[in-house]
A and B are shown apart, each in its own frame.
Chain A
Amino acid sequence: MPVSYLKIVEGLKEKIGSKSIIDSKVPRPRRISISIRKEKLIDAITNLVKEEGFVHISTITGLEGENGIEVIYHLNRKGLEASLKVEVSIEQPLLPTITHIIPGAILYEREVHELLGVVFSGHPNMAPLLLPEGWPKGVYPLRKKWTYEKIKKKLLREK
């Protein structure tokens, strides 16, 4: 791992403790991917934004992996893309909001909430953003169990 990338990981280790960092890698130049424990999310984001200068958030990706829901924060500093990954369980998908650190994340959190059912506690407004009005509660279309057929059946039943 190049020195400048290593420094970011070292800084993060100091802040949140090396045990909280599950994995870190550099798949190619200008990309760094760090996987951390979800309890340390706020500390890690604060460190990256305030001390390392990752002021821009490109988006938040949510996806259903093998062990639960992965939430990936794509932070950016002058072309260097840092993907900070946390994992929550499907039964209890709860994360703190980061909108007080990066106000630009406001819509991305809502999107992840709506499509995958992750709840961001402390978010100012979790109202529906993308899906139509009257969309059935508890149907999170990007979760793997909601196949087209199931969504279709559910929507027809609701009508």
Chain B
Amino acid sequence: MSPIFNIPFGPQHPALKESENFMFEVDGERVVDVTPRLGYVHRGIEKALEDRTYIQDMHLIERICGICSHAHTTCYSQAVEEGLEVEIPPRARYIRSIVAELERIHNHYLWLGLVAHEIGFETLFMYAWRDREVVMDLLELISGNRVNYAMNMIGGVRRDITPEISSRIRKGLKVLDERMKYYERICSSERTVLVRTRGVGVLKTSDAISLCAVGPTLRASNVKRDVRADDPYAAYDEIPFHIVTHDGCDVASRIVTRCEEVFESVRIIRYALEHLPTGPLEVLVPRTVPPAEIVSRVEAPRGENIHYLRSNGTDKPARYKVRAPTLANIPALCKMLIGGYIADIPITIAGIDPCFSCMDRLAFIDANTDRSWVWDGEQLRRYGFKWYKKR
């Protein structure tokens, strides 16, 4: 039988869901092999950073990711501050932690909504995104922006958290905490959710370690690793918190892990607000960084974020390397997909919280007949619903 080729339909829109391409080899309903092709939103930021000054770079770093912009700028500021050998004031360290945790809550709410959408639970999707507005309002209150908060500067933070803002954050946290408790109960008891997530996208502990997965994906496979605890930065060495792990190793376990991480984040913010040190927000820093090599790490909402800086005594970096958490989770994701059903592809991919959650172009090759065809993410999502209805 000669292969049938379908032309990919629809543009790749990096609006909400970013572009990504996976080539699946399937045998009936089972995925036999998968080949990712990344780079549809590769913007050459690392090269661009070498061409700009440290102050200009801050703005570019802020725009690496829409959701975890604060994690990237924190990582960047830390690297440059270490190169400059400056210590930032304690109040700035605490504010960095508070914004980082609000960002984590924001990310996890957004993710919960996307997961609900992928399994066709539209009510939960709407609820989760409605409640996400609460945390976005808090971030706007602090920074002036709903995303890309621009809170960090080299040597400190740009804005203060006043007692008035602090009391409003506390009010917001109460809502976020209560709602997430409700969602956690739903996600661990509602049958429709469990059928679509239990035993789906399994990543064994040994695979998670050998494939170097990071973040909640790793912790849901029962590996206790978190940069905040292992390699403390900002104010995390002074704030008590606990690392959430679960041993389910599947999508259901990833959901519970993230829900509980929100409770931890709420606790961290409450503690930080209560113990917020007084003092200045920033220190003045020189513009040129003496020659050094610095490795900076941060626990972004999606996992370990690592930056590497090579400075050469000028006001521009000689090399700046960024590795965001999604790339680290791709080998693990491929492992999860192989052996699974076609219908589970969307939820498995959404399960790692990829920064390019769109599978705008999906190509299938049937291993037995060599027939190949192309689906977009929406077609695949609908296929998944139909397939599960028939079962």
Contact = CB atoms under 8 A, between A and B. Distances in A.
Chain B, interface residues (CB within 8 Å), range: 35 or more
B173 to A, nearest CB: 28
Contacts of A108: 323, 327
Interface in A103-150: 103-108, 111, 115, 128-132, 141-142, 148
Contacts of A30: 231
Interface stretch (A11-19, A37-45, A74-82): A74-82
A87 B292 CA distance: 17
A142 B39 CA distance: 15
A58 B303 CA distance: 11
A56 B209 contact: yes
A61 B321 contact: yes
Contacts, number: 86
B55 interface: no
Contact of A78 (B47, B230, B304, B327): B230
A79 B292 CA distance: 21
B330 A107 contact: yes
Given A83-B295, A148-B51, A142 B46 contact: yes
Interface in B207-246: 209-213, 225, 227, 229-231
Interface residues of B: mostly helix, strand, loop or mixed? mixed
Interface string B287-300: 00000111101000
Interface in B124-168: none
B96 interface: no
Interface string B304-323: 10101010000000110101
B389 interface: no
A124 to B, nearest CB: 11
A36 interface: no
B230 A74 contact: no
A56 to B, nearest CB: 5
A56 B293 contact: no
A58 B304 contact: yes
Interface string A43-74: 00000000000011111010110000000101
A27 B310 contact: no
B327 A107 contact: yes
A104 B211 contact: yes
Contacts of B318: 63
Given A27-B294, A31-B295, A59-B323, 13 more contacts: A33-B293, A72-B308, A78-B230, A79-B229, A83-B295, A104-B213, A104-B328, A106-B331, A107-B330, A108-B327, A130-B38, A131-B42, A148-B51
